[in-house]
Amino acid sequence: MWKLAASRKTGRKRRYCSQIQYCLLVLLVPMLIFLLGAGALTTQAHTNSPQFQKQQTALIPQQEAYALGEAFKIGNLQYRINDIRTSDVSGYDRSAREDNTYLFINLTIENQGSTDIEVRSMIGFKLTDLFGKKQNSSIKAIPVFKDAIDGTIKAGGRMTGELGYEVLNRTQTFNLMVIPDPLSSKTVIAKVRILMQ
């Protein structure tokens, strides 16, 4: 039995590539590497071309900028910022921090669609300064709100109210970002320039 096993082991010969297979392997590997490299260079040249960059810029939704008092529409909602005002909320126990003031933005939202729409001030709006720094919404200023922008707007109805933010007490410009659906990837962001004096 031992002899039979030993003869089987010695009877097997190692298989090597034939000369033709070896030549093909030597020719194909460098050619494959060359083709992959050329494809990468072509892709890089294509993405660096001005025409490709122009197409990519067109695909990115641009933020439209509006002026105070100008009406603009996003989906079925039409927005208009009516007025801005500031207050230090003096006389209340929740006055603004030192060097800060409250900025109130009065706006009207009109539902021009056929279904009711829910509006939330904390997630539907974002105020930033010109450097992109987010400004804090102020719950402390609620006693001075004319009406908060929160609730359901019936189909064909409208809502007028205020947003309140605590900002530095000096002349500056802000951007109010209007985000109709923060959970949607198709959200369109409109930007309204606000000059505080």
Decide if pLDDT at 42 tops 80: no
- Per-residue pLDDT, averaged over 38-52, amounts to 53
Angle in degrees, CA 155, 160, 166, rounded to 5: 130
In the numeric block, which tokens belong to residue 125? 């709006």
Bigger pLDDT: 72 or 87? 72
Give which of 71, 31, 100, 84 is closest to 158, Cα–Cα.
71
Assign 157 a pLDDT band (cuts: 50, 70, 90).
very high
For the full predicted model, state whether its pTM sits above 0.85: no
Tell me: pLDDT of 61 over 60. no
User: Using 50, 70 and 90 to split pLDDT, how confident is the model at 56?
Assistant: very low
pLDDT of the residue at 64: 77
Percent residues over pLDDT 70 in the chain: 69
d(CA 188, CA 14): 67
Q: Residue 22: what pLDDT?
A: 74
Of 140, 145, 129, give the one whose Cα is nearest residue 191: 129
Question: Architecture of domain 70-195 in CATH?
Answer: Sandwich (2.60)
Residue pair 167/105 in contact by the 8 Å Cβ criterion: no
pLDDT tens-digit map of 98-114: 778 888 899 999 999 99
pLDDT of residue 109: 94
The pLDDT score that the predictor gives to residue 13 is 57
Integer Cα distance of 14 and 18 in angstroms: 12
pLDDT tens-digit profile of 114-125? 999 988 888 889
